[in-house]
A and B are shown apart, each in its own frame.
Chain A
Amino acid sequence: MIETKRPPQNTRREIVALPVDGAELALHLWRPRGPAKGAVFYFHGLQSHAGWQWEVGPQFADNDIAFYVLDRRGSGTSGGDRQDLADVDTLMRDYITALEHVRRTIGDEVPLSLFGHCLGGSFMAALMHHPDFTTRYDAVVVCSTWLGKLHATLDEEQRRALAAETSTEPWDPGLRSEDFTDDPRHRHFIDHDDLAVRTLTRRSRAVLLGLEELYLRPRRALPPVPSAYVSGVRDPIVDLDDARAVYRRMTGANGALVQLATDKHYLFFTDFRARLVDWVSTFTLLQGVDRDG
C-alpha cells in the first residue's frame, strides 16, 4: 500500500522499444526505483501520446505505481503512418503485445489497472472484449470517453457507408485546446505539440467504427473486476449521458461513476490532476490487497 510517512522518492522514466508487425512501438514507463506495488496501463486519445504525461507519470511512480503508456502505432514516438490508423486487428495486436510485456515485467502478484482516456477508452474497451486478449487485469478506469460515439451519432446507413470508406483524404476531428483545459501553459503545449496527431484519414474512422463493434456487440463477457467512469461534471466533447449509459451496459454491477468538479475534457491538464492520480493509484493498489491472507 502507499506509504504515507515517507518523503517523495526518486523515480525512473524509461522508453521500451517493442517491435510489432513491422513497426517499432514506444512503450513509455514511469516507475519507482524499487519494486512497483501496482501498475497502470494508459490508452491515450486521438491526438495525444505519452509525452503528455510528464506530470502524471512521475506522480504515479512516486505512489509506487508503474505507469505505462504505449504510443499507439502512428502516434508519439512510435513508428507507423501518422495520419492513417492501422486496421483493428493490427492495433489490437499492438496492445496485446504491450500488455503481455507489462504483465511479464511486473509479475503476477502486482495489480494492474487499465486506464483509457477519451478515444483511448474506446481502444481499451475494444481490447477488453477482443478474444485474443488474455492478459489479466485487475481494475478499469474509463475517463472522459464517449463510448460508442459513432453508433450514437450515425444512423445505420451512415455507419454502413463509413465502414466502406477508403478515402485517404484528411478528416479533422475539430479538437480545440480550450475544450481540454483552461490552463494557458497546457493550452500552449497542446497547440504547439508537433507530435500530436491533428487529422486522420477518412478511412481511419471506419477503424474507429470497427473498434466500437467489438464492445457494443461483445462476443465474450468481461471479467468481474471493479471499474469506474471518471469525467468532469460536463464535458465539451463528450455526451456524458450517452457515454455513461454505454458504460453501465458494459460493466453492469462492477461499474462506478466518478465526477470531478470541472467542465473541461482533459482532466490531467486541470487542477484535478494530482487528486485523480492519487485516486487511481489507490484504486489500483487496493486490488492487490490479499483479503484472504
Chain B
Amino acid sequence: MDDPLWLKHWYDRRGPFEAECRRARDELLVDLKQPALAQQRVLADVIDMSAGSVHWKERGYDVVADDPGRFRSVLPVMRYDDFVPEIRNETRTKGGTLTCSPVLRWLKTSGTTGAPKLVPYTLHWLLTYRIPAMKAMWGTYLEYHPELLAHPYATLDTQTVREDVYDFVHGIGHQAISNRHPKVNSRDWNPPWYESPWFGPGVPSSHEGRMYHRIRHLAARDLHYISSINPSTLISLRDILAQRADQLVSDLRAGTLEGRPYTEPDERAARRLAEVLRRPDFTLKDVWPSLTLYTCWLSASASLYAAKLDAVLPGVAKLPFMSCGTEGVTTIPVDDSLHSQPLAVSQAYFEFVPAEVPLGELVESGEQVETLLFDEVEAGRDYHLIMTQGNGLYRLWTGDVYHVDRIVDGTPWVHFVHRDGIFHSFTGEKLTESQVTGAIQRGLRSQGIDAGLYMCGPRWAEPPYYQLVAEVPEPSEQLDRALSAAVDAALHEINIEYASKRDSGRLGALEAFTVRQDAIAAYVESRRQGSNTTQYKYKPFQRDVDFVTALTSRRKGVRT
C-alpha cells in the first residue's frame, strides 16, 4: 500500500520545487549575461568567507580582503594533497580553519593515493552554491520537459540517493556528494520524490537491490524521465530488468515487492511486461512507452556510450548532466545543447592555463603559475581548470582539462575533455596511472614476482573491463587467474569508485595475461619497425587492447 505521507510530500513540494528550480535557472541566466560581475561577486564572497579563517590569517592571505586584485599573486595554486594538513585540523574544528562556515559533512571521493579525499561540505557552500546549482540544472530540465513533474511516478532520479551513513570523521559523516541523507535543513536538496519509497534510506543499499526497488515501484507506471549521472547506470537499469525479469513479473502479478505484500496485484501489467522482457532486444522504451527524457553525462569518455544509449533508449530525448565533481560545479546546462555548457560563473572563481603547459610540473616545483581568467580564454583551445570554491579549497588545480567551444555574451561555453593524469574511466572510476601501477605491483608481489614490463588497456564489452598483460618468468593460465584476482582486488581497495562500479556490475573483473619475459619488449620493437620508427616507445597505458591479441595470440582463453 502506498504511504500517503510520501504522496503528500510530493504534492506539497511540486509547486515550490518547480518555482525554486526556475528561479535558480533565471538567476544563472542573468549571471551568464554579465559574467564579470558574477565572478567578482564569487571572489568577494570567497574572500569574505575565508579571510578570517585560521589558515588565511596564519599565511597572511587575509591581506587580499583589502585588495581582491592581489588574490592570484598572494595565494598559490594548490593540489588537494596540499590542503591535507589544514583539512586534518578542520576535521577537529569543523569550520573556522579553511573557511568561516560550519562543516556539515566530509565528501568522499577517490584520492590520488587511494585514500579517500575529505572535501569540506560547509553550510555556506550548500546554501550558496551546491543547492542552487542543482536547482538551476533541474530548472533547465523542467523548461524543456515539464512532464517530469506530471505526477508522482513521472521521474526516476538515480543521480542522488538517500543512504544511512556509517563512516564518520570526528563525528561528522563522510559520504558521497550524491548521498543527500540526512537532510541538513529545509533548504537542503528536497525534490518532491524525497520521501518516495524507492528513494529513501529504506531501500537496499546494494546497487542491484536499490535498482530493483526503483524498477518495482515504477514498473507499471507512466514513467517519463530517468535521471542519471553516468550512462552506465542506464545500461545497468536495462541489464537488471533483464536479469530479474521473472521476479519482477511475479512481483507485479502477486502485488508484492521481493515476495512481500506491497500493493494490489496487477495481472495486466505483469502480462504486458512479461511479453516485453521476453524479447532479447527489449529497450527501456518498451518497458516504459511513456519515456520522453533521460539525462546523464554525454561528453568525454561518456560519449563512448552513445550507441548503447541509443539502442536502449530509442527515440527518447536526452539532456546532459552538469560538469561537476565532488570538488565543485564547473558547468550547468541551460538549454538542450548536448555537448557544450556555459561555464557556471556563479559557482566558483575560475582560472585557466593552456593545456599544453605542464601545470603539474610547475605546481610540483612551486613555480609561479600564470593563469587566465574566464574572459581571456579562446574558443577552440583546451585548458587546465583551476577553481576557487566557497568551501575553502582555493585555487584548486582540478586536474580536469576543458575545451572552449565558443564564447556567448562573454561567457565561455566549454566541455570536459579528459582528466590530466587519468589513465581511463569507463564510468566515473577515473583510474590514474599511479593507481593502476600500484595495483599491478601489489598483484605481482602477492605472487612473489617482481614487476617487469606490463601493458594495460580498456576493453569495451558488456560490462566493460580492463585487460593487463605482464611479463613474468613462467607464464601460465593458473598465474593469469591468480594475477587477475589480485590486481582486481588491489584496485578495489585503491579506488573506491572502481570498487563501487565493480560491486554494482557496471565494470567487469580485470583480466590479466602473463607472457614470457621480453615479450612486451619484442612487441614494442616490432611496432617501432612497423610504424613511426623514431617516436614509438613503450607506453604501459594504452587507449585500446590491440596489444592483448598481439601478445597472447598463442594463448587460449582470451575473452573477446
Contact = CB atoms under 8 A, between A and B. Distances in A.
B92 A77 contact: yes
Interface string A174-217: 00000000000110110011110000000000000000000000
B520 to A, nearest CB: 47
B100 A13 contact: yes
A170 B135 CA distance: 55
Nearest to A61: B102
Interface string B187-200: 10000000000000
Interface in B158-210: 168, 170-172, 185-187
Contact of A192 (B57, B101, B128, B170): B170
A61 B185 CA distance: 14
Contact of A15 (B54, B128, B187): B54
B40 interface: no
B186 A7 contact: yes
Nearest to B104: A58
Residue of B94, B101, B168, B185 with highest tally of chain A CB at under 10 A: B94
Contacts of B93: 15, 28, 50-51, 77
B103 interface: yes
A11 interface: yes
B124 A14 contact: no
A30 interface: yes
B96 A28 contact: yes
Contacts of B100: 12-14
A168 interface: no
B185 A15 contact: no
Interface in A130-160: none
Residue of A13, A54, A57 with highest tally of chain B CB at under 10 A: A13
In terms of DSSP, what is the predominant structure of the interface of chain A?
mixed
A8 interface: yes
Nearest to B101: A13
Contacts of B96: 13-15, 28
A57 B93 CA distance: 11
A166 interface: no
A215 B170 CA distance: 35
Contacts of A90: none
Nearest to A13: B95
A8 B186 contact: yes
B94 A51 contact: yes
B51 to A, nearest CB: 11
Contact of A51 (B123, B124, B168, B170): B170
B171 A10 contact: no
A58 B93 CA distance: 13
Contacts of B168: 185, 188-189
A57 B102 contact: yes
Contacts of B57: 17
Nearest to A31: B100
A10 B128 contact: yes
Contacts of A50: 93
B127 interface: yes
B97 interface: yes
B52 interface: yes
Given A50-B93, A51-B93, A185-B171, A10 B103 contact: no
Contact of A12 (B54, B101, B128, B172): B101
A50 B187 CA distance: 26
Nearest to B184: A8
Interface in A194-246: 194-195
A77 B94 CA distance: 12
A216 B484 CA distance: 73
Contacts of A28: 93, 96
Interface of A: 7-8, 10-15, 17, 28, 30, 50-51, 54, 57-58, 61, 77, 185-186, 188-189, 192-195
Given A13-B96, A186-B171, 4 more contacts: A11-B102, A12-B101, A13-B101, A188-B171
27 contacts: A7-B185, A7-B186, A8-B187, A10-B128, A11-B101, A12-B101, A13-B102, A14-B52, A14-B96, A15-B54, A17-B54, A28-B96, A30-B95, A51-B94, A54-B95, A54-B102, A54-B172, A58-B102, A77-B89, A77-B92, A188-B168, A189-B168, A189-B170, A192-B170, A193-B170, A194-B92, A195-B92
